[in-house]
Chains A and B, each alone.
Chain A
Amino acid sequence: MTVEARPEPRLRTRRKRPDVLSVLGILFVLVIVAWLLVNLIDDPQQFFNVALIGLTTGSVYALVALGYTLVYGILQLINFAHGDVFALSGLVASSIMISLFDLSGTEAVVVIGLGLVGTLALTMAFAATLNASIEFIGYRRLRGQPRLTMLISAVGMSFIVQNISLAIYDVNYRSAPPLISTEPAFTIGGVSMSWNKLVVVLITIPVLIGLTWMVRSTKQGKAMRATAQDQDAAAMMGINVNRTISFTFLLAGALAGSAGVLYLLQFQMRYDTGFELGLIAFTAAVLGGIGNLAGATLGGLIIGFIQAFNEGLPIGSPGSDWTRSIVFGILIAILVFRPEGLLGERTPEGV
């Protein structure tokens, strides 16, 4: 006589059943896909035009999000002031374009091109310096203390930078002179990419490639990665931790500066533009997996598309009144259900 084997393995497989939340999540994603498909079929031209807008704003978000991710990667600090650095540098860029280079009257392509490159370089240098000084003044002394201390200091810094913008530029909106034509650069099947949108994408791509190269392949990048992993060990290996962190802030600031110029080419800005955009960009960084460079870029693009689709699609879109709620809803959902983000790795949390 033989004893029957106990049905133990079955119990285990039953436990792996998908739980209610992930089913709901999948359903939600399906509804979104269906909504996009309905819009695509109804009016493909509109759909792709909106998608191009999403690509452009998404590029700007990606640049700002990279700054958040770089700083978070190295200090585990949400640098609240980053969005305001972005706004201030955008405003400074408008001054450089109008007052310093006097670009508002010119029409020659070479002058405009050189002027833009010059503006970009100056603004990036300005924003980098500003961001590094914020770190030097506000965060460096707090490094050994409970992390909340530095975070609160960052909130304070954000308001200080915002008020510097307010003091210099007052409450008026600023915009760039119409330098780049809104004529279509190319048209495919009724969908046209205008020059001013194309420029944004054209500037973003080399910046991203340069950044990846810098972090992956240079000695300074190696130092950054080492410092991010373990500051004490990095210091023991002869890395100047203070300088590396300063360099990270310089880099993040330069990205914010470039994003400021690109944003200014598209939209109007004023002193408080950076606050909301900063939060959106931070959402993008979290969405992609904070501390992950590719993730920040992906997250920025996704958020850009979400915003554009929400505001631009004709059928069943909630409209711009709800953009903020949707973006923050995504942020909360991501943090609650997948805190490591789309591309991040799951890490133990200490508790």
Chain B
Amino acid sequence: MATETTPTNAVRKPSVKIPWGWIIGIAALALAALYPVLYEEKLGDMSIPVFREWPSVSTAVIMIVFIMMAVGLNIVVGYSGLLDLGYVAFYAVGAYTAGWLASGHFQQVKVHILSSGVGPDLRGIHVNMWMVLLVAGTITAVAGILIGLPTLRLRGDYLAIVTLGFGEIIPQFVRNADNLGGFNLTAGTFGINPIDSPGFGEALNDSLGLPISFQQSFEKINLFYWSALVLLLFTIFCSLRLRDSRLGRAWIAIREDETAAAAMGVPLMRTKTAAYALGAFFGGIAGAFYASFKGGAFPSEFFFNISVFLLCMVILGGMGSVWGVVLAGAILTYLNQEGLSNLGGWLNNETPLDFEVAKYQFGIYGAIIVLMMLFRPVGLIPESRRKREIEEGTATDTLYGERHE
């Protein structure tokens, strides 16, 4: 067990470099923004080796949603070093908030708040989807705080198991809560659908030509894609700024050495709860957006597997490294949605192998997790500080050496 402390004040060389980071970033952003156009013009008919075809735009939307969640989880796992195995709970809370606030589920009432593209006579609660996203984020953040307050005092692995417990309870609650003393809260296994889609309303449609409702537009999927991209950029921006803020430095201090951080005056509980709340916030937004994209919130989607899938993105990308998580999230979600089945088809047709790749997807993710931990625990694009922690060790492992007999 390494006990050396890391010298964190290494002198940096002042140098004038070509800002490769910015160039790659802007190019990637431009490509991402133009992707639906490119896909329609060219990529849609193009075939590529092994994976056969480019991801469709709707797959790309799902990729962006999952990247958002992974970036949110990265705040909890990557920045603060709190292993959260129940992140799917936040996704569920976000999706169901969208279901409650923007669908005809509650037939008892008729509430319309700035809703666009919804007939004025429809019953149920219909709040403007953009507002719902914010509300969903907030409610999920509150849920994160509620889960966090009693549990964050626990040590690392106990925390993992408690979050796992919540990740299992919330989906079961959702599945069973169609008859809570006669009140139908979640519509049970059927899920809540249809959920309204985002839109800009009549006024903006007249003046700027923005669509009233994505659902009724001919370019539905492209609109969803672009708004998802904007949300993702917002998430990444917040995540990066948070990392460099006072709070972010406190998170990283806690990750590196909890005792030292506390001794330096970092309020542990408040800081950890903030990590939970903010991580949950983005998970909630992504969940609500995804529910709106699919048009429903269904309990069959909220499984432990999703939590592990998201965790796998964070690990593959490199814990704490936002760009790594974005890259890994894109790769894994693509594989999950299209890649693995295409790959399996290619394998079965072109090679003598007969192997259902898609069936073993979680085995493949498991193998990725283990291999990364064994051979490259810093991830694809390592975050510099995290890399030093893993290579040189932190003070935490001796403190965790307190035996529990």
Q: Chain A: residues with CB nearer than 8 A to chain B?
A: 72-73, 76-78, 137-138, 141-142, 144-153, 155-160, 162-164, 166-167, 228-230, 232, 275, 279, 282, 286, 290-292, 321-322, 324-325, 328-329, 331-332, 335-336, 339-340, 344-345, 347-351
User: What are the residues of chain A within 8 A of B151 when measuring CB–CB?
Assistant: 332, 335-336
User: What are the residues of chain B within 8 A of A340 when measuring CB–CB?
Assistant: 404
In angstroms, Cα B401 to Cα A228, docked, is 10
Contact present for B373 and A347 (CB under 8 Å): no
In chain A, what residue has the closest Cβ to B402? A350
Pick from B2, B360, B374: contact of A138, CB under 8 Å: B374
- Judged by a CB distance under 8 angstroms, whether B81 is at the interface is yes
Contact present for B258 and A152 (CB under 8 Å): no
In chain B, what residue has the closest Cβ to A347? B404
Given A138-B374, A155-B85, A349:B397 Cβ within 8 A: no
Pick from A138, A150, A155, A166: contact of B359, CB under 8 Å: A166
> How many A-B contacts at CB < 8 Å in the complex?
173
Contact with A along B29-60 (1 / 0, CB 8 A): 00000000000000000000000000000000
Contact present for A228 and B85 (CB under 8 Å): no
In angstroms, Cα B154 to Cα A290, docked, is 14
Minimum C-beta distance from B347 to chain A (A): 15
Contact present for B168 and A229 (CB under 8 Å): no
Given A148-B83, A335-B158, A347-B404, A159:B169 Cβ within 8 A: no
Given A275-B304, A331-B162, A151:B83 Cβ within 8 A: yes
Given A146-B397, A163-B362, A279:B404 Cβ within 8 A: no
Contact present for B155 and A148 (CB under 8 Å): no
Minimum C-beta distance from A132 to chain B (A): 16
Minimum C-beta distance from B243 to chain A (A): 19
In angstroms, Cα B350 to Cα A235, docked, is 54
User: What are the residues of chain B within 8 A of A347 when measuring CB–CB?
Assistant: 402-405
Contact present for A149 and B377 (CB under 8 Å): yes
User: What are the residues of chain A within 8 A of B308 when measuring CB–CB?
Assistant: 155, 159
Q: How many residues of B contact A (CB 8 A)?
A: 58
User: What are the residues of chain B within 8 A of A167 when measuring CB–CB?
Assistant: 360, 363
Contact present for B176 and A321 (CB under 8 Å): yes
A-facing residues in B329-374 (Cβ within 8 Å)? 359-360, 362-363, 365-370, 373-374
Contact present for B365 and A159 (CB under 8 Å): yes
In angstroms, Cα B393 to Cα A164, docked, is 34
Contact present for B166 and A332 (CB under 8 Å): yes
Contact present for B315 and A351 (CB under 8 Å): no
Contact present for A324 and B404 (CB under 8 Å): no
Contact present for A332 and B165 (CB under 8 Å): yes
Contact present for B397 and A159 (CB under 8 Å): no
Minimum C-beta distance from B377 to chain A (A): 6
Given A321-B176, A332-B166, A145:B390 Cβ within 8 A: yes
Contact with A along B384-405 (1 / 0, CB 8 A): 0000011001101101101111
In angstroms, Cα B363 to Cα A167, docked, is 10
Contact present for A153 and B169 (CB under 8 Å): no
Minimum C-beta distance from A285 to chain B (A): 10
Pick from B169, B258, B311, B366: contact of A351, CB under 8 Å: B258
Minimum C-beta distance from B227 to chain A (A): 33
Q: Can you name 5 extra interface pairs (CB under 8 A) apart from A159-B362, A350-B155? A: A76-B400, A76-B403, A141-B374, A142-B373, A335-B154
User: What are the residues of chain B within 8 A of A137 when measuring CB–CB?
Assistant: 370
- Judged by a CB distance under 8 angstroms, whether B120 is at the interface is no
Contact present for A158 and B393 (CB under 8 Å): no
Chain B binding site: helix, strand, loop or mixed by DSSP? helix
- Judged by a CB distance under 8 angstroms, whether B160 is at the interface is yes
Contact present for B365 and A345 (CB under 8 Å): no
Contact with A along B262-302 (1 / 0, CB 8 A): 10000010000000000000000000000000000000000
Pick from B83, B311, B405: contact of A345, CB under 8 Å: B405
Pick from A73, A160, A332, A351: contact of B405, CB under 8 Å: A73
In angstroms, Cα B86 to Cα A279, docked, is 13
- Counting chain A CB atoms within 10 Å of each CB, the highest count among B83, B168, B369, B397 belongs to B369
User: What are the residues of chain A within 8 A of B259 when measuring CB–CB?
Assistant: 350-351
Pick from A160, A286, A349: contact of B366, CB under 8 Å: A160
In angstroms, Cα B169 to Cα A329, docked, is 8
Pick from B150, B362, B373: contact of A153, CB under 8 Å: B373
User: What are the residues of chain B within 8 A of A78 when measuring CB–CB?
Assistant: 157, 160-161
Contact present for A336 and B150 (CB under 8 Å): yes
- Judged by a CB distance under 8 angstroms, whether B164 is at the interface is yes
In angstroms, Cα B403 to Cα A229, docked, is 6
Contact present for B393 and A144 (CB under 8 Å): yes
Contact present for B363 and A152 (CB under 8 Å): no
Pick from B2, B83, B262, B394: contact of A152, CB under 8 Å: B83
User: What are the residues of chain B within 8 A of A76 when measuring CB–CB?
Assistant: 157, 400, 403-404
User: What are the residues of chain B within 8 A of A282 when measuring CB–CB?
Assistant: 161
In chain B, what residue has the closest Cβ to A340? B404
- Judged by a CB distance under 8 angstroms, whether B23 is at the interface is no
- Judged by a CB distance under 8 angstroms, whether B173 is at the interface is yes
- Judged by a CB distance under 8 angstroms, whether B1 is at the interface is yes
Contact present for B156 and A351 (CB under 8 Å): no
Minimum C-beta distance from B378 to chain A (A): 11
- Counting chain B CB atoms within 10 Å of each CB, the highest count among A158, A228, A332, A344 belongs to A332
Contact present for B169 and A328 (CB under 8 Å): yes
A-facing residues in B71-112 (Cβ within 8 Å)? 81, 83, 85
Minimum C-beta distance from B388 to chain A (A): 12
In angstroms, Cα B262 to Cα A265, docked, is 52
Contact present for A148 and B81 (CB under 8 Å): yes
In angstroms, Cα B365 to Cα A350, docked, is 34
In angstroms, Cα B404 to Cα A290, docked, is 8
Minimum C-beta distance from A125 to chain B (A): 24
Minimum C-beta distance from A256 to chain B (A): 18
Contact present for A335 and B369 (CB under 8 Å): no
Given A228-B405, A229-B405, A332:B400 Cβ within 8 A: no
In angstroms, Cα B396 to Cα A292, docked, is 24
In the A-B complex, list the 7 residue pairs whose CB atoms are closest, starting with the nearest.
A163-B363, A159-B366, A156-B369, A328-B165, A156-B370, A153-B373, A156-B366
User: What are the residues of chain B within 8 A of A351 when measuring CB–CB?
Assistant: 258-259, 262, 268, 399
Contact present for B369 and A328 (CB under 8 Å): no
User: What are the residues of chain A within 8 A of B399 when measuring CB–CB?
Assistant: 350-351
Contact present for B366 and A146 (CB under 8 Å): no
